[in-house]
Structure 1
Amino acid sequence: MEKLSGGRDGIYRTRNHVIRPANKTSRTIHSLLTHLHRQGFHQCPKPIALDHEHETVSFVEGQVDNSPLIGNIASKQALTSAAKLLRQMHDASASYIDSLEGNETWMFPVREPTEVICHGDFAPYNLVLNGEEAVGVIDFDTAHPAPRVWDLAYAVYCWAPFKTHEFDKMGTLDDQISRALMFCKAYGATKGMLSNLPDAMIERLQALVSFMREEAEKGNAAFQQNLEDGHHLAYEKDIQYISQNKQTFLTELMK
């Protein structure tokens, strides 16, 4: 078996399958992935098996880049094709909302209005590329029912990217807004979504920091380490950065 880097520990590939540690959300996520495939969205892992300790899903062929936005992952083609994949995934998930019984287990809280199933972490490191083309989406652990703009907000934050950390930042504010506009256009965002996007980005990051703190207080070692490493401080700086430039960004979105 080949150990896969990035994400959680204990993830292995064997031939065309990926074996991962199971968690409390695995059964719900397998049900979601099965639904997406039934709806014709095949650019995500397909459930194979699940027990108390491990889950097995199909391997999505291509390149996954865990580095900052450089090379193929930074291209306009990767940006726009990722946005189109997000739209396709959302559209395929919309009919899953009607089948929810209320006993599903999600990592993140359900948010109203529940228009689609959001991926929850539609960042470059969770997209699979073929050259500069985004051809797959992986790691649905953070998926949850929410409005479309909730997922779009975090995706734009990651892909523009509106980040201030030296390791993650890219380009000027004008560059970031330009990339954000390309992503939104490729997704097919409505004027209503665009008018709410900057506020949704801020709220999404605030919710993430709160979630990290709550999990750390519950004794979650991974999030305790994240806080110790100062990950929340980077998000808080980004919240401030987006807030400071909110009006400029909103003006361009609404042109």
Structure 2
Amino acid sequence: MEKLPGGRDGIYRVRNQVIRPANKTTQTIHGLLNHLHLQGFHQCPIPIALDHERETVSFVEGQVYNYPLQGNIASKQTLKSAAKLLRQMHDASASYVDSLKGNENWMLPVRKPTEVICHGDYAPYNLVLDGEEAVGIIDFDTAHPAPRMWDLAYAVYCWAPFKTHEFDKMGTLDEQIARAVIFCKAYGMTKEEISGLPDVMIERLEALVSFMRKEAEEGNEAFQQNLEDGHDLAYEEDIQYILQNKKDILTMLFK
């Protein structure tokens, strides 16, 4: 049994399977994953088993990276591949939205209009690579119904990345915007969607900070630790960074 690194404890690999702690949302997520596979989207874990304490899913083979973005995860080819894979996942999830009964459990709030199932944390550390090709998406815990733009805004923020923390930041503002352009084009975003990107990024980060603080106040130890580590303050600094550079971001996005 191999303990897997990441943001949560208690995740282990046993041969070609991953054992993870289960929670009240896990059954809903398993339904989503099964639906994605039925739609022909096989670049995500396959649900295998679930009880009150643990879930078992298939292991997605490949390399997983984290910040700071270096090596294959930072390449332009990976950026394009990541955007295309997110588009495929969104398209495959759209029909799942139509089947929802409204009694499903999601970690993050449902957001109208519910166009697709958002991954909720489409960051580099949740992508599996084979060289510079995105071959899998993992950790769907934060998946929830919402507009495409809600997921896209956070994805672009994470992949540009429009981050200010010394450990997370990468490149100059111009280089970050250039990466955002690549992601937007590879996904196939419309001009209308691109024009609203900075505002939705800010709104998405504000919602994340509010959610983290609410969960911490209600006794969620993981989010209490996040606040102790200053994650919410880092997001607030990034909000200001995007706000201050909004004009330049929009100008270069439409060049």
CA–CA distance in structure 1, aligned partners of residues 182 and 223 of structure 2: 33
The alpha-carbon deviation at position 229 of structure 1 amounts to 1.2
- 2-side partners of 1:87 and 1:70: how far apart? 24
Q: Distance in 1 between matches of 2:191 and 2:150?
A: 15
**Structure 1 residue identity aligned to 2:250:** L
How far 1:190 sits from its partner (Å)? Answer: 1.0
Amino acid at match of 2:153: A
Q: CA RMSD in A?
A: 0.7
Give unmatched runs, 5+ long, in structure 2: none
Shift of 1:247: 1.2
* 1:176-219 residue CA offsets vs partner (Å, 9 max, x unmatched): 00000000000000112111111000000000000000000000
| Matched AA of 2:253 | L
Task: Give the letter for the 1:238 counterpart.
Answer: D
Q: Does residue 155 of structure 1 match 2:150?
A: no
Superposed, 1:1-255 pairs within 5 Å as 1-255=1-255
Deviation sequence 1:143-166 (CA, Å, 0-9, x none): 000000110000000000000011
Report the CA distance between 1:252 and its aligned residue: 2.2
Task: Give the 3-state SS of the residue equivalent to 2:5 in structure 1.
Answer: coil
Change (3 A) 1:194 1:80: same
SS at match of 1:121: coil
- Aligned-residue sequence identity (percent) comes to 82
TM-score by length of 2: 0.99
Which AA in structure 1 matches 2:120?
G
Report the TM-score when normalising by structure 1.
0.99
Give the counterpart letter for 1:193 in structure 2. Answer: E
The amino acid that maps onto 1:200 is V
Match for 1:106: what amino acid? W
How much does 1:7 deviate?
Answer: 2.3
Q: Deviations over 1:52-89 (max 9, x none)?
A: 01000000000011241111100011111000000000
CA distance, structure 2, for counterparts of residue 66 and residue 187 of structure 1:
22
Equivalent position SS for 2:57: strand
Cα distance in 2 between the residues matched to 1:88 and 1:72: 21
2:28 counterpart letter in structure 1: T
CA–CA distance in structure 2, aligned partners of residues 183 and 173 of structure 1: 15
Q: Hey, what's the Cα distance between the residues in 2 that align with 1:98 and 1:162?
A: 33
- Taking the aligned partners of 2:19 and 2:121, their CA distance within structure 1 comes to 20
Aligned-residue offset at 1:254: 3.1
Distance 1:79 1:89 in 2: 16
SS at match of 2:142: coil
How far apart are the structure 2 equivalents of 1:206 and 1:140?
21
**Secondary structure at 2:165 match in 1:** coil
Query: Which digits, 9 at most, give the CA deviation of each residue in 1:23-51, with x for residues without a partner?
Result: 11000000000000000000000100111
